[in-house]
Amino acid sequence: MRQYKTVPVSFPNMGGDRLSGRLELPVEGKPTHFGIFAHCFTCGKDFFAPSKVSKALAAHGVAMLRFDFTGLGESKGSFADSTFSTSLGDILSAAKFLRNNYAAPSLLVGHSMGGAAALAASSDLDDIEAVAVIGSPCDPAHVLRHFKDHEQMIERAGAIELNVAGREYVLKKSFFDDLDNHDVEQDTRNFGGAVFVFHAPDDDMVSFKKAETIYERFGTGFLIRMEGASHMLDQREDAAKIADILAGWLQEGKQPDAKTA
């Protein structure tokens, strides 16, 4: 018997475009907490990490809203016109939807670039008790390393086409310019909650050193080594481990065995 139920939802982003989401709720009893999952760059709400982690948390009684960022998946709007700033706005819009219809979120979870966005959004949400990042860079500018060979084209044409997993995306110069306006370390200077950093030691897309940098920024954090996990977190037991740790801390104050597990 499933221990969660999935409710389709939608809500407007700050520009008025409808964002598509799934609210994972426990089957029995009221949720103890509500949270938001921010997916990775060009991913979506139905990828393994947002889907499995959210469902595993719901089975523990923590309701989770996973959604597609603007222009991705089933969400409306233009991905070509999106930036890191609009991603932050999408997270704040998701929080507003929960606050108005259910309860204010107390947990933010982000995967890869979604983790950087979750961290940056945390200081603008007063009720957040914890942020969890999974395989995440310490700064959104990390993504620029993928485009070093395209800098002249971006300057000349004002945009580039990007092929990810067989799908074509357009990134405008405004996307890259916007990254220069964000410093996650500064954005999180007022966040006083707990930070959980989940990262595989041999992650081949985001170095483990990035996880150590995030961990060292906070005096109230935990660094959890995800031995054997892939960057895309495509094993069910890894999602279950993350859910066990987060639900245990939120509901019972149960901390990982050590600062670095």
- Report whether pLDDT(154) > 80: no
| pLDDT for 96 | 98
Report DSSP letters for 24-59, one per residue: EEESSS--SEEEEEEPPTT--TTSHHHHHHHHHHHH
Residue 64 in domain: yes
Residue 258's pLDDT is 46
User: For position 39, which CATH number holds?
Assistant: 3.40.50.1820
- What does DSSP assign to residue 95? H
pTM to 2 decimal places: 0.92
Is the predicted pLDDT of residue 166 greater than 90, yes or no?
A: no
CB distance 241 to 215 below 8 Å: no
- Any domain includes 65: yes
145 has a pLDDT exceeding 90: no
Residue 147 pLDDT grade (very low, low, confident, very high; cuts 50, 70, 90) = low
Q: Is residue 153 part of a domain?
A: no
Residue 89 falls inside a structural domain: yes
Q: What distance in Å separates the CA atoms of residue 167 and residue 71, rounded to the nearest whole number?
A: 13
Whether residue 160 is contained in a domain is answered as no
Residue 260 lies in a domain: no
Is residue 95 included in any domain, yes or no? yes
Mean pLDDT of the chain: 90
Tally of domains in the chain? 1
At 181, the pLDDT band (50, 70, 90 cuts) reads confident
Kind and range of the H or E element at 93? helix 84-101
Write down the pLDDT at residue 242: 98
Residue 110 near residue 47 (C-beta atoms within 8 A): no
The answer to whether residue 122 scores a pLDDT higher than 60 is: yes
pLDDT-derived band at 149, boundaries 50, 70, 90: low
C-alpha to C-alpha distance for 126 and 98, rounded to whole angstroms: 14
CA gap 119, 72 in Å, rounded? 21
pLDDT average, residue stretch 147-161: 73
Structural domain of 198: 4-139+183-252
**pLDDT exceeds 90 at position 233:** yes
- Asked, for residue 164, whether it belongs to a domain, the answer is no
The pLDDT of residue 165 is 60
